[in-house]
Amino acid sequence: MNLRERSSAAQLLAGLVRRELSAETLARACLERIAALEPTVHAFAHLDHEKVLAEARELDRGAVRGPLHGLPIGVKDIMDTHDAPTEYGSPIYRGHRPAADAACVALARTQGALVFGKTVTTEFACFPPGPTANPRNPAHTPGGSSSGSAAAVACGMLPAAFGTQTAGSVIRPAAFCGVAGYKPTWGTLPRVGVKMISDTLDTIGMFGRSVEDAALVVSALSGRESLRAREPAAAPRLAVCLTPQWPAARPETRSLFDDLEARLSAAGARAGTVSLPAAFDGLAEAHAAIWDYEIARCLADEHRRFRDRVREPLRSQLDRGWSISPALYDAAHELARACRRALAAAMGDFDALVVPSAPGEAPMGLEATGDPVFNRIWTLLHVPAVHVPLGTGPKGLPLGVQLVGGIGEDATVLACASWVERRLRIRAE
Amino acid sequence: MNLRERSSAAQLLAGLVRRELSAETLARACLERIAALEPTVHAFAHLDHEKVLAEARELDRGAVRGPLHGLPIGVKDIMDTHDAPTEYGSPIYRGHRPAADAACVALARTQGALVFGKTVTTEFACFPPGPTANPRNPAHTPGGSSSGSAAAVACGMLPAAFGTQTAGSVIRPAAFCGVAGYKPTWGTLPRVGVKMISDTLDTIGMFGRSVEDAALVVSALSGRESLRAREPAAAPRLAVCLTPQWPAARPETRSLFDDLEARLSAAGARAGTVSLPAAFDGLAEAHAAIWDYEIARCLADEHRRFRDRVREPLRSQLDRGWSISPALYDAAHELARACRRALAAAMGDFDALVVPSAPGEAPMGLEATGDPVFNRIWTLLHVPAVHVPLGTGPKGLPLGVQLVGGIGEDATVLACASWVERRLRIRAE
């Protein structure tokens, strides 16, 4: 079969489950793509070709295991795997071999997925970058912290890959690499065995070539059939929302959002605008306080025993976390709870908000992974967020939009995102 | 010094910090007590005498590290330690050596505590028991899942020890062993490096010989000075609440609660009664559904690769978890959220509710750890809960009461609990 013609996860799975496509054939195609591009992209922290092929053959020999049977999936190296090194992007954990799979990895295997190596994470899924380059232009960052997963999916190495998001680590790399990224409602996928850096923020997400693909995989992992991204029955009600972070938007994002409401209307949506209440202005700062406070505690052992082996700016973040008072931390959570309650009223009868995913195209250079400024508040609110790739900006790098909605309203947000994905295209001016 | 006369953690710490008591002297006293009682009690999963003494001497040589300097603390063997085996009470993890300390363990070390061995946990902190016996009567269960921690504190092996609670794993063993147990508001202590069995229920707690001791340690670990259990400035407002689980109360608990309001009044409290709204009737079942659903996912790797090495009734619980639909799970969380909102109104202007900690005295036999029926709803509500030991029941085994309050109202609940602890005593009829 021609993999290029049937490259969506949904199509691949149809072939795999019907046994028209063998897991080994698909794995070999992925390995070929990796062999060609990995020297430039550096998406993988660990990959064992022979092991992947052996497992693919085992899948081909046995019965169909589940809805993800034979689907290659990348696992961010912040997630434990019992059969591969797991280094969390940190020299402290060089060669570390966990005893167990992270729960989300075990779920993927139970559903038949072919765990296809570990993808590069920034250090402890924070700001110090890994070696991954943006496959659209390797002089630019792929974003982070799920750098390898986003890049691997973007350049066709893999049809799907795990990410995690504490600030913007799914949506931002999806935006910079031009793939779909889906951060479900907080708590949708279990986090045991993930090296957590914030108990109240960390959320497991998924990258796919399309919204449908990312949603399909999370649907299988969570047993939530409703997450299969079907298009809405009626015209979606979409509100453009510039958010309190709008001053951080770069010209390409300003240009995109200038006529976004009109474009959505022209495409058939019932479009409007929403302004968030003033209380939301403090959410980004609240997010930063909560993350700093919690990461200092989550990485208390590393900070205590190996502080010198933690790179900047993470080391400063850990130090900073110890200076945040419980009172400030509690107030940040209180604001988040208040804004969660207020969000439904702010959204009115809109199905989803259309907001920026990132300030603009992926910045030049691999020394930093860009700014999660447009992601912090949605992560803190625990709401579903989806990046929809729409085209390219003035530098030829990907641009798109983020759709967010109410807690637990993942199916609605995914359906709207899929609708937008199919109808809106942008190109460089 | 005479350790018996100064046996509270607060008193010991005063001596340790002033250097009137050396960490080594205290450690030796604990080791002597352990040598005498461990053959009967079996509180420890791992204990390295020489290592403990070496670390004690190191603490004695250096500067005072923090508010817990030199305090021996037991670590439930569901918590990772980088320098000792961590087996989670499961044969699957025999001899397992984690790479890092759990965050709570690292926090304890940072504050100067002397990590004093790993205490017995039931299998994955669930129902299959460990070998620990109740130090008050070794023919009876110490409760679980934090069996070794509760027993070690109860018989004077240690002044404090960590527990975790998913259903009733702090409060129940505290009640059965006759020590103070404190389950803080959910999220107070970080859970990274604890083998989690429910993301939305698991809470790290503490055992102490008194409420003040348990509160003191959590205060130091969390940096929350307010948790130091000071007695309330005015007469505490305490409501006796029989909870929807009252039919499970055994005669000794019925007898205790029969005149509890009168006794509280006589002791000087502004006492009353509270009945919980009808919606709370479904909380215990909601708790069970959430736990079953989440534990099946948290232990997905163990279930997939080692199902035969999981003991009953845990194996059935894992199987059962896969049959719970996301819709039922979501509804259970929705009920919990509604009841959290309703609790403040139900409590009126009372500071805390006084509720049963367990059905009655510790049951005979070591084949089971007793019923968490009186703990499930408070764990699900995320509220602070404190077990206050009050005396003994008809079999000469410990009896007491549980105090609970609003989310984040830990300081108030602890102060009330300390007040009750000093003024109420019961003895066998």
Which of A193, A222, A294 shows the shortest C-beta gap to B326?
A222
pLDDT, tens digit, for every residue of A163-181? 999 999 999 999 999 999 9
B255 a catalytic residue: no
Interface test with B, best of A92, A109, A192 (most B CBs within 10 A): A192
B233 confidence band (pLDDT: 50, 70, 90):
confident
Q: Are A154 and A136 in contact (CB under 8 A)?
A: yes
Which of B98, B106, B297 shows the shortest C-beta gap to A304?
B106
Task: Please judge whether A101 and B187 are an interchain contact, meaning their C-beta atoms are less than 8 angstroms apart.
Answer: no
**Would you give the DSSP letter of residue B363?**
P
B275 a catalytic residue: no
Q: Same domain, yes or no, for A414 and A390?
A: yes
Q: Same domain, yes or no, for B184 and B313?
A: no
Q: Same domain, yes or no, for B217 and B348?
A: no
Question: What is residue B7's predicted lDDT score, i.e. its pLDDT?
Answer: 78
Lowest mean pLDDT among A4-8, A72-76, A82-86, A374-378: A4-8
Tally Cβ neighbours within 10 Å of residue A230.
14
B-chain residue closest to A306, CA distance: B100
Question: What is residue B114's predicted lDDT score, i.e. its pLDDT?
Answer: 98
Chain A interface includes B199 (CB < 8 A): yes
Question: What is residue A426's predicted lDDT score, i.e. its pLDDT?
Answer: 84
Q: Same domain, yes or no, for B23 and B171?
A: yes
**Would you give the DSSP letter of residue A426?**
B
Task: Please judge whether B109 and A326 are an interchain contact, meaning their C-beta atoms are less than 8 angstroms apart.
Answer: no
Contacts of B102 in chain A (CB under 8 A): 301
Question: What is residue A4's predicted lDDT score, i.e. its pLDDT?
Answer: 52
Sheet containing strand A385-392, edge to edge, reads A44-46, A114-119, A72-76, A160-165, A203-208, A180-183, A385-392, A398-404, A352-355, A237-240, A270-273
Could you report the predicted ipTM of this complex, rounded to two decimals?
A: 0.95
Rounded to the nearest integer, the mean pLDDT of chain A is: 96
Chain A interface includes B187 (CB < 8 A): yes
B2 confidence band (pLDDT: 50, 70, 90):
very low
Q: Same domain, yes or no, for A158 and A205?
A: yes
How far B160 CA sits from the closest chain A CA (Å)? 21
Chain A interface includes B85 (CB < 8 A): no
Contacts of B98 in chain A (CB under 8 A): 99
Say which residue, B226 or B2, is predicted with more confidence. B226
Q: Same domain, yes or no, for B164 and B207?
A: yes
B4 confidence band (pLDDT: 50, 70, 90):
low
Tally Cβ neighbours within 10 Å of residue B361.
26
Chain A interface includes B4 (CB < 8 A): no
B311 confidence band (pLDDT: 50, 70, 90):
very high
Chain B interface includes A324 (CB < 8 A): no
Domain limit, last residue, from A200, A227, A254: A227
**Would you give the DSSP letter of residue A250?**
-
Query: Once rounded to an integer, what is the mean pLDDT over residues B380-395?
Result: 97
pLDDT, tens digit, for every residue of A301-353? 999 999 999 999 999 999 999 999 999 999 999 999 999 999 999 999 999 99
Question: What is residue A425's predicted lDDT score, i.e. its pLDDT?
Answer: 87
B226 a catalytic residue: no
Query: Once rounded to an integer, what is the mean pLDDT over residues A259-280?
Result: 97
pLDDT, tens digit, for every residue of A31-72? 999 999 999 999 999 999 999 999 999 999 999 999 999 999
Is a pLDDT exceeding 80 seen at residue B1?
Answer: no
Percent of chain B scoring above 70 in pLDDT: 98
pLDDT, tens digit, for every residue of A105-134? 999 999 999 999 999 999 999 999 999 999
CB-based burial label for B50 (10 Å; 0-12, 13-18, 19+): exposed
pLDDT, tens digit, for every residue of A195-206? 999 999 999 999
Question: B3 in a domain, yes or no?
Answer: no
Question: A107 in a domain, yes or no?
Answer: yes
- Beta strands B270-273 and B237-240: pairing type? parallel
Residue B161 identity: A
How far B162 CA sits from the closest chain A CA (Å)? 17
Domain limit, last residue, from A186, A205, A227: A227
Question: B4 in a domain, yes or no?
Answer: no
CB-based burial label for B349 (10 Å; 0-12, 13-18, 19+): exposed
Spatial neighbors of B155 by CB under 8 A, at least 6 apart, are B33, B37, B41, B43, B135
Question: B29 in a domain, yes or no?
Answer: yes
User: How big is the A-B interface in CB pairs under 8 Å?
Assistant: 94
**Which A positions 220-249 lie with beta carbon below 8 A of chain B?**
222-224
Question: What is residue A5's predicted lDDT score, i.e. its pLDDT?
Answer: 42
CATH code for the domain in which residue B350 is found: 3.40.190
Is a pLDDT exceeding 80 seen at residue A229?
Answer: no
Which of B102, B190, B298 shows the shortest C-beta gap to A294?
B190
Question: B128 in a domain, yes or no?
Answer: yes
A428 confidence band (pLDDT: 50, 70, 90):
low
Domain limit, last residue, from A327, A350, A382: A327
Question: What is residue B3's predicted lDDT score, i.e. its pLDDT?
Answer: 56
pLDDT, tens digit, for every residue of A404-418? 999 999 999 999 999
pLDDT, tens digit, for every residue of A344-383? 999 999 999 999 999 999 999 999 999 999 999 999 999 9
Question: A4 in a domain, yes or no?
Answer: no
Structural domain count, chain A = 3
**Which B positions 298-317 lie with beta carbon below 8 A of chain A?**
298-305
**Dihedral over alpha carbons B252, B254, B256, B257 (to 10 degrees):** 160
Q: Same domain, yes or no, for A50 and A124?
A: yes
Interhelix angle for B211-222 vs B9-17, to 10°? 50
Q: Are A149 and A76 in contact (CB under 8 A)?
A: yes
Contacts of B192 in chain A (CB under 8 A): 195-196, 199, 297-299
Catalytic residue among B90, B146, B169, B198: B169
CATH code for the domain in which residue A381 is found: 3.90.1300.10
Q: Same domain, yes or no, for A307 and A367?
A: no
CA-wise closest residue to B99 among A118, A305, A311, A96 = A96
Which two structure tokens, joined as six digits, stand for A43?
Answer: 């998406």
Task: Please judge whether B301 and A196 are an interchain contact, meaning their C-beta atoms are less than 8 angstroms apart.
Answer: no
Query: Once rounded to an integer, what is the mean pLDDT over residues A239-244?
Result: 98
Is a pLDDT exceeding 70 seen at residue A211?
Answer: yes
Q: Same domain, yes or no, for A122 and A241?
A: no
Whether omega for the bond prior to residue A145 falls within 30 degrees of 0, making it cis, is yes
Q: Are A157 and A169 in contact (CB under 8 A)?
A: no
Query: Once rounded to an integer, what is the mean pLDDT over residues B107-133?
Result: 97
Q: Same domain, yes or no, for B198 and B131?
A: yes
Rounded to the nearest integer, the mean pLDDT of chain B is: 96
Is a pLDDT exceeding 80 seen at residue A1?
Answer: no
B428 confidence band (pLDDT: 50, 70, 90):
low
Question: A304 in a domain, yes or no?
Answer: yes
Task: Please judge whether B193 and A326 are an interchain contact, meaning their C-beta atoms are less than 8 angstroms apart.
Answer: no
Q: Same domain, yes or no, for B300 and B418?
A: no
Question: What is residue A2's predicted lDDT score, i.e. its pLDDT?
Answer: 47
Is a pLDDT exceeding 60 seen at residue A145?
Answer: yes
Question: B106 in a domain, yes or no?
Answer: yes
Is a pLDDT exceeding 80 seen at residue B16?
Answer: yes
Q: Which residue range is the domain that position A295 belongs to?
A: 285-327
SS3 annotation, B137-163 = CCCECCCCCCHHHHHHHHCCCCCEEEE
Q: Same domain, yes or no, for A172 and A255?
A: no
